[in-house]
Structure 1
């Protein structure tokens, strides 16, 4: 258990969500025969009280690194009854984010009985799990991602409506100064085409690690696929993009196996892209500014407002990249209906509030380059659009 605690503490630091060393390094606890922590810290005494109050076996606590610390403390101060982002990660995993006023086991347990993750203003973020520390890692990562999207989306909307106040403007300026520089270099992935399963799996695992390493996802989510002959190799549902070895399913396009039962929930969308096009591979990530720009709309009077992610009828694009509605997976409003035609025509599409898909031929170099290019362009367009209202 201690090894698992150390693993996810290191992942939180590697993704820039928390410091890797010192008093602000993550605290990850796991209950097996005994309660074990990844490191010693005086706060573990209070946090340990959560294990006797909740049916959990793991806990993750971080004091977020900047700029996430400023964002979360600001949003918690503005929304003491709970933070309510509107992106897909929130709808899928979080629903809303409780704000806990006190760093006490009793107060935190009361909120964690209702939700998986909470914010304690001025202290940090806590998330629990019932199986492994991975659950808390996912919840913390999703919270940080959703809060970032909410902070920037709300700021742009308020600027458009001339509703900004000095406090928000000061926090925003501080956060912008702390943003890391965008990646512009490319990783140089394995060159294809790949002719056997071994080559496909190795290329997918390599590309998945780079997508996570470049910060083009939240936590480790997203999916990736490659079509070899008439079989789609795709990452399994819930798999870590940076640990895909052993988590890739070969799914024949004719449905002749049951491998699709454990495959990504977006398998049907990937398959339909391949049926409609000559592409060989697809990358899907959750880059922050692509998601932010997908949610930006000037139509405040739209009858679909509040249900944009499934009912948007506006033909919106980002530099020609279509923005489409659609829920994760299948069903009447699933992205399996909206994504494939857009991808087949453009080789890339952004799903409203969710993330970015790119496709290519032979190998993952071109899809990766386009994923990064579109995200960087969305970042530039965000600040260009904001400058109109300055």
Structure 2
């Protein structure tokens, strides 16, 4: 188990969320074990003693996340309230505490999957496995990143002045890692065998996680192989896809989709409408941020725009961003579900962004085209984001 804990610690560092060797992970089986010894372990052991959990992750944040999270925590009033889809669906709000003591931490974790400790980082728990803690902590970092930059753009768009926010923004901006511009070589297709398709999906999934185009390892991927949609399972890691792909006949003749991605129906509808051979869905940060940037001041639908926006718009007005529509939608098959809102927007286009959620990209036969769209759109969104900030005097 200690080796498994170290795997998650290395993943957190590889994602840029912390310095190498910084995370502390604890696991309770027949005895309590930590991946490394720190002064905080006594407090963490006290949290274990107060909760029915089997794992804890203590994540001291690296930059720019430390600057971002501490700034938001300082203005939280006890909880940070992000607006991205993943937070709405899974985290709800992000509690903030000032004290690093077992009683305070356990009380906060009894209500939520994670807690932010001002000036110290993020603590997350798992009731079943360390993976749950890893996902929660990663998602907190993603949600705070999106909220921080999204709220700052909204501030500048509204013409408001906030010297403290501006100082934090410029610090965080200076600490951002440079954009990744070189795409890996991925299989072009068409694929003749299931083995070829699965290998191509695995490579594309690893590339998507490796270049930071996801929240944690979330996202999904599919490939149409002779009328059978191979799709990643719900909750699976895009960088660990072997044995986590379900074959789902497009004619509905099998119930294999019971464990498939929650967005299976949306994938099926996209394939049926567009004829796409592959679909790659990730959560590129700046694409999500721009999807939430709207110039419709005073819009009466703003509280529900993520599921019921009736105003057609695109990520931008130039280049590839003018080709990528922003659509509302929620997971599931309801009237405003992605299965109904997303496929029409993708007809004749390289991809579409679901507001506050992420980017869906397609390829005719292989993943090179879909991945190129994912990476190119994210880099264009990053450039456009800072262009907009500067245009508002930022």
Please indicate the TM-score interval, normalised by the length of the shorter structure.
Answer: over 0.9
Q: Displaced runs of 4+ in structure 1, greater than 3 A?
A: none
1:376 is matched with 379
2:51 is matched with 54
Find the residue that maps to 1:279 and give its secondary structure.
coil
- Does structure 1 conserve the Cα–Cα contact (< 8 Å) formed by 2:280 and 2:360? yes
- Does structure 2 conserve the Cα–Cα contact (< 8 Å) formed by 1:27 and 1:62? yes
Deviation, structure 1 residue 320: 2.2
Deviations 1:248-281 (A, max 9, x none): 0110011111111011111111111111122100
Deviations 1:87-115 (A, max 9, x none): 01101111000001100001111111111
Task: Name the CA distance, whole Å, in 2 between partners of 1:117 and 1:159.
Answer: 30
Is structure 2 residue 337 aligned with structure 1 residue 340? no
Deviations 1:295-351 (A, max 9, x none): 001123111111111011111102221000001232222111011111123120000
Task: Name the CA distance, whole Å, in 1 between partners of 2:28 and 2:385.
Answer: 44
1:10 is matched with 10
Task: Name the CA distance, whole Å, in 2 between partners of 1:95 and 1:359.
Answer: 30
1:230 is matched with 227
Find the residue that maps to 2:348 and give its secondary structure.
helix
Task: Name the CA distance, whole Å, in 2 between partners of 1:347 and 1:160.
Answer: 29
Task: Name the CA distance, whole Å, in 1 between partners of 2:78 and 2:275.
Answer: 50
Correspondence list, 1:62-211, <5 A:
62-211=59-208
Deviation, structure 1 residue 388: 1.7
- Does structure 1 conserve the Cα–Cα contact (< 8 Å) formed by 2:350 and 2:373? no
Task: Name the CA distance, whole Å, in 2 between partners of 1:259 and 1:164.
Answer: 54
Find the residue that maps to 1:346 and give its secondary structure.
coil
2:319 is matched with none
Task: Name the CA distance, whole Å, in 2 between partners of 1:99 and 1:277.
Answer: 45
Task: Name the CA distance, whole Å, in 2 between partners of 1:164 and 1:9.
Answer: 39
Task: Name the CA distance, whole Å, in 2 between partners of 1:345 and 1:177.
Answer: 38
Aligned with residue 261 of structure 1, among 231, 238, 258: 258
Find the residue that maps to 2:80 and give its secondary structure.
coil
For structure 2, the 5+ residue unaligned runs are 316-321
2:296 is matched with 299
Aligned with residue 332 of structure 2, among 329, 333, 336: 329
Task: Name the CA distance, whole Å, in 1 between partners of 2:161 and 2:202.
Answer: 44
- Does structure 2 conserve the Cα–Cα contact (< 8 Å) formed by 1:266 and 1:330? no
Deviations 1:18-40 (A, max 9, x none): 1113xxx1001000001111111
Using the size of structure 1 for normalisation, the TM-score is 0.98
Correspondence list, 1:23-34, <5 A:
25-34=22-31
Q: How many residues align?
A: 387
- Does structure 2 conserve the Cα–Cα contact (< 8 Å) formed by 1:326 and 1:351? yes
Task: Name the CA distance, whole Å, in 2 between partners of 1:184 and 1:229.
Answer: 33
- Does structure 1 conserve the Cα–Cα contact (< 8 Å) formed by 2:16 and 2:62? yes
RMSD of the TM alignment (CA)? 0.9
1:351 is matched with 354
- Does structure 2 conserve the Cα–Cα contact (< 8 Å) formed by 1:155 and 1:164? no
Using the size of structure 2 for normalisation, the TM-score is 0.97
Is structure 2 residue 362 aligned with structure 1 residue 365? no
1:250 is matched with 247
Deviation, structure 1 residue 286: 0.1
Deviation, structure 1 residue 147: 0.3
2:318 is matched with none
Is structure 2 residue 313 aligned with structure 1 residue 313? no
For structure 1, the 5+ residue unaligned runs are none
